[in-house]
Amino acid sequence: MVVQDKVAVITGAASGIGRKTACRYAEHGASVVVADVDAEGGAETVERISDDGGEATFVETDVTDPTEVRTAIETAVDEYGDLDVLFNNAGIEGSLNELAEWDDEAIEPVIDVNLKGVFYGLKYGIEAMLATGGGSIINTSSVGAATGINGRSMYCATKAGVNGLTRTAAVEYAEDDIRVNSVLPGTTDTPMIRRSDQERDTDRLQLNTSDAMEGRGQPRHLADAVLFLGSDLSARVTGVELPVDGGFLAGP
């Protein structure tokens, strides 16, 4: 029970990595605010946690709206009395096109969700943690922040930006006992990746990834990494970009 009695806000928790992490935190004794724009999926996550005896609340949250992000964080403090962990996980993949073929209007949504959404989470999460004595913030980046992914130029660019925000916030708030780290998923079996697999219909857009370990990553692998980073087991870990990628970035 490594996060017993802690309070966590998890964005993008209606499915995939976010849902699995919310359930994992609840299993380990945390109270969880499930934040997502998908009300049906968010309610299902809360139901799963409740059915297993955990504590969770859903807040419909569009991370591109700073007011809604702030409301999700304030709900944690109002409902459970604290904010110990914030997992800025919500993200979108955007268009699947080579860079020169991207429509101009397709750029902004990716920046708004993947980069601004994390910024707003950091801003209001830090504000709450300064008032409650510190905490841990984890941001979802990607191996695409460290290497190119065919067809995902803006996705990779925003995830590199997430790492920049992570490092800066970690340095700025270390003295306030606020730790900030990022996780870098490799190819993980999520709805996003399954959509992407179906869209890659030309040789030029095929994934240029090959994990050193066999098989494909699962949401539980990310959930356990985020659980570690949110717990006191990682009390001296901050500013870290942690790949959870089966050894992909370690390869040639």
Q: Determine contact, residues 196/96, Cβ cutoff 8 Å.
A: yes
Q: Determine contact, residues 28/85, Cβ cutoff 8 Å.
A: no
Do β-strands 55-60 and 135-140 pair in parallel, antiparallel, or remain unpaired? unpaired
Count of CB atoms situated within 10 Å of the CB of 105: 7
From CA 191, how far away is CA 188, in angstroms rounded? 9
Bridge partners of 178, per DSSP, are 135
Residue 142: which H helix or E strand, with range?
none
Q: Determine contact, residues 218/189, Cβ cutoff 8 Å.
A: yes
Count of CB atoms situated within 10 Å of the CB of 200: 14
Tokens (6 digits) for 212? 């050193």
Tokens (6 digits) for 78? 């109002």
- Find the catalytic residue in 25, 120, 124, 155: 155
Q: Which residues 6+ apart lie within 8 Å of 8 measured at CB?
A: 22, 25, 30, 31, 32, 33, 76, 84, 85, 86, 87, 230
Task: Answer yes or no: 25 catalytic.
Answer: no
Q: Which residues are catalytic?
A: 155
